[in-house]
A and B are shown apart, each in its own frame.
Chain A
Amino acid sequence: MPGIELSHILIAIGFMTALGLMLSGILAVANRKLWVYEDPRIDEIEELLPSTNCGACGTAGCRPFAEALIRGELKPAQCTVNSRDAAEEIADYLGVDAGDVVKKVARLACAGGAHVARNKAHYDGLESCRAAAVVSGGPKRCAWGCIGLADCAEVCDQQAIHMNQFGLPVVDPAKCTACNDCVEICPKGLFSLQPVDRQLWVACKNLLHGDEAENDCEVACTACEKCAVDAPDGLIQIRNNLAVIDYSKNHLASPTAMARCPTGAIVWLEQEQPIRGKEAKRVIRKQALPIR
Chain B
Amino acid sequence: MADWCRVNIMKLFRRRSFSHGVHPPAHKDGTAQIPIRRLPFAPQLILPLGQHIGAPAQALVKKGQDVVRGQPLAAAAGAMSVPLHAPATGRIREIKSMLTSRGSREPAIVLDVYEASTQEVLWREKRNLEELDQDQLLQAIQDAGLVGLGGAAFPSHIKLRVPEDKKVDTLIINGCECEPYLTCDHRIMLEYPDDLIRGIQLAMRASGTRRAIIGIEDNKMDAVKLLAERLRKASDIQVEAVETKYPQGSEKMLIKSLLNREVPAGGIPADIGVVVNNVGTLAALGRLLPRGEGLMERVITVTGSGVRRQGNYLVPLGTPIGFILEQAGYEGGPNEFILGGPMMGPAVSSLEVPITKGSSGLLVLNEPSIRAESRHRWPCIKCGRCVSACPMHLNPALLGQLALAGEYEEMAHDAHLNHCFECGCCSYVCPSNIPLVQLFRAAKAINREKAA
Contact = CB atoms under 8 A, between A and B. Distances in A.
B349 A136 contact: yes
Contacts of B334: 122
Interface stretch (A99-107, A126-134, A168-176): A126-134
Contacts of A123: 349
B375 A135 contact: no
Nearest to B434: A126
Contact of A126 (B101, B104, B377): B377
B347 interface: yes
A126 B435 contact: yes
Interface in A112-148: 120-126, 128, 130-131, 133-139, 141, 143
Given A136-B347, A136-B348, A187-B445, A131 B104 contact: no
A124 B367 CA distance: 12
B99 interface: yes
Contact of B346 (A122, A135, A138, A141): A135
Given A131-B435, A136-B103, A121 B445 contact: no
B349 A126 contact: no
A120 B346 contact: no
Interface string B321-360: 0000000000000100000000000111110000000000
A207 interface: yes
A136 B438 contact: no
Q: Could you tell me the dominant secondary structure of chain A's interface residues?
A: loop
B421 to A, nearest CB: 15
Contacts of B442: 128, 130-131, 133-134, 187
B362 to A, nearest CB: 14
B441 interface: yes
- Residue in A123, A135, A136, A155 with the greatest tally of chain B CB atoms within 10 Å: A136
Interface string B64-104: 00000000000000000000000000000000010101111
Contacts of B450: 184
- Chain A interface residue number, banded: 20 to 34
Contacts of A141: 350
A130 B103 contact: no
Contacts of A125: 375, 435, 438
Interface residues of B, number: 25
Nearest to A212: B96
Interface in A9-52: none
B26 interface: no
B382 interface: no
B349 A133 contact: no
A135 B347 contact: yes
Interface string B400-434: 00000010000000000000000000000000000
Contact of A136 (B346, B375, B377, B445): B346
Nearest to A240: B97
Nearest to A142: B105
B446 interface: yes
B55 interface: no
A134 B97 contact: no
A234 B445 CA distance: 36
B204 to A, nearest CB: 38
B156 to A, nearest CB: 27
Contact of A130 (B99, B105, B350, B445): B445
A136 B103 CA distance: 4
B377 A143 contact: no
A137 B230 CA distance: 46
Contacts of B101: 136
B441 A134 contact: yes
B439 interface: yes
A120 B350 contact: yes
A187 B103 CA distance: 12
Given A131-B435, A134-B442, A143 B105 contact: yes
B438 A137 contact: no
Contacts of A138: 103, 349
B445 A124 contact: no
A213 B102 CA distance: 19
B105 A133 contact: no
B446 A137 contact: no
A270 B406 CA distance: 35
B105 A121 contact: no
A134 B438 contact: yes
A42 B104 CA distance: 50
A126 B439 contact: yes
Contacts of A126: 377, 435, 438-439
Contacts of B350: 120-121, 136, 141
A207 B97 CA distance: 9
- Residue in B99, B348, B442 with the greatest tally of chain A CB atoms within 10 Å: B442
Contacts of A130: 442, 445-446
A131 B438 contact: yes
B446 A120 contact: no
A238 B427 CA distance: 45
A88 to B, nearest CB: 37
A124 to B, nearest CB: 6
A197 to B, nearest CB: 29
Interface string A204-222: 0001100000000000000
A143 B103 CA distance: 6
A57 B45 CA distance: 52
Nearest to B346: A136
Contacts of B449: 184
A188 to B, nearest CB: 10
Given A121-B349, A124-B375, A128-B442, A137 B103 contact: yes
Contact of B99 (A122, A131, A143, A207): A143
Contacts of A143: 99, 103-105
B432 to A, nearest CB: 13
Given A120-B349, A122-B334, A133 B439 contact: no
Interface of A: 120-126, 128, 130-131, 133-139, 141, 143, 155, 184-185, 187, 207-208
Given A126-B377, A130-B442, 4 more contacts: A126-B435, A135-B349, A143-B103, A207-B105
**Those 9 A-B pairs whose CB atoms lie nearest each other, nearest first:** A137-B103, A121-B349, A130-B442, A136-B349, A134-B441, A136-B103, A120-B350, A143-B105, A131-B442
Interface of B: 97, 99, 101-105, 334, 346-350, 375, 377, 406, 435, 438-439, 441-442, 445-446, 449-450
16 contacts: A123-B349, A126-B377, A130-B442, A131-B442, A133-B442, A134-B441, A135-B349, A136-B103, A137-B102, A137-B349, A138-B349, A139-B349, A143-B99, A143-B105, A155-B406, A208-B97
